[in-house]
A and B are shown apart, each in its own frame.
Chain A
Amino acid sequence: MILKLFLIISITFFGIWLLKARKTARVRAWQKMIVVIFVIGVITITLSPALSTQIALFFGLNRATDVIVYATIILLLFVTANIYLKFQDLHNQLVKIGRAQAIQEGLRTNQNWDKDA
């Protein structure tokens, strides 16, 4: 029961974290849907393990373990891509700040640079 509780709490916190990860409206909407489905799925399977076998059979798999492994792989890919894009965003913001600083310094040391005469 402690493990189940741990799983439910950690997946809930994970969901909250993922919801806050990115900012564009469409991506955020997709993230919310994925997280809600995943959280409901994990809680349901945790409380009723027999259901995972039925899901496995529904998807044409023999073992419930396979469903969980596949779902985990999909989620891992989703999270990895999400983190990659988030890092790209942060890098781009850092570049903009660095560029603004370099240009400001350049204008300070070359005072007639932007003057016509």
Chain B
Amino acid sequence: MIDNKQVCVIVPFYNEEEVLEKVLTELIANNYLVLAVDDGSTDKSNEIARKMNCVLLKHPSNFGQGAALQTGISFARLNPKIEFFVTFDSDGQHQVSNIKYVLKPLVGDETDFVFGTRFQDDKTKFPFLKRIVLKAAIKYTQLSTGVAITDTHNGFRAFNRSAANCINLNFSGMTHASEFVEKAGKSGLRIKEVPVHILYTKYTKRKGQSLWNSINILTDLFLR
């Protein structure tokens, strides 16, 4: 058993006023230490997060999700009481109930880094085109990083302190997903995948990552 206060759930957000309160409330109700990172929101998201019982960091401008995650990780590392780190999307597509599943292999010291996967069960219902683009992106990341995991572009991840110390993301935008895999692989960390359920709603489809971003990610990886 672990004390949920040893678990820091990092929630980067940008203009999520419609769903942020619900997402943060559920995390806080489960006694996790919630670290919300405002990536330069221009709506009422910051105001909402400020009223919640969570730690709030704010970027002065919109730098991208990768940058917000790294800010959260860098800040969380400073707290010696935190043993485990979870990255969690703010748009409501991740399920709080799944956190215990991604934490389990870490608590048992079976692994250093857990990647949530949507491809080891059939709980996640993908839009058709998204499944195809994701499969292609995953194949590319597997080939370029040499890490054979089934879902490289899932934002639901958990890792221990030694893994957190190895993560230093350079990509500010959505390319950070490939970078997580690459850095975890190159650092020689023990990696494991755990099935998680991602809920695609009208809102998450509208707010989530555009498929066009796959072109931006490829450009970033090519030109770095």
Contacts and interface: CB of A to CB of B under 8 A. Distances in A.
B181 to A, nearest CB: 20
A101 B60 CA distance: 8
Interface string B140-180: 00000000000000000000000000000010100000000
A50 B172 CA distance: 50
Contacts of A51: none
B76 to A, nearest CB: 9
A103 B223 contact: no
B59 A110 contact: no
A26 to B, nearest CB: 15
A114 B82 CA distance: 10
B46 interface: no
B73 to A, nearest CB: 10
Contacts of A101: 60
Interface in A73-117: 81, 84-85, 88, 91-92, 94-95, 98-99, 101-103, 105-107, 110, 113-116
Interface residues of B, number: 22
Contact of A102 (B59, B79, B172, B223): B59
B61 A103 contact: no
> Per DSSP, are chain A's interface residues mostly helix, strand or loop, or mixed?
helix
Contact of B79 (A81, A95, A99, A114): A114
A104 B63 CA distance: 17
A94 B63 contact: yes
A35 to B, nearest CB: 21
Interface residues of A, number: 21
B50 to A, nearest CB: 10
A102 B57 contact: yes
Q: Interface centre among B37, B61, B67, B80, by most A CB within 10 Å?
A: B67
Given A102-B59, A103-B57, A103-B74, A95 B67 contact: yes
Contacts of B2: none
Contacts of A99: 59, 67, 70-71, 74
Given A84-B223, A102-B60, 14 more contacts: A85-B223, A88-B223, A94-B61, A95-B172, A98-B59, A98-B71, A99-B70, A103-B74, A106-B56, A106-B57, A113-B78, A114-B78, A114-B79, A115-B80
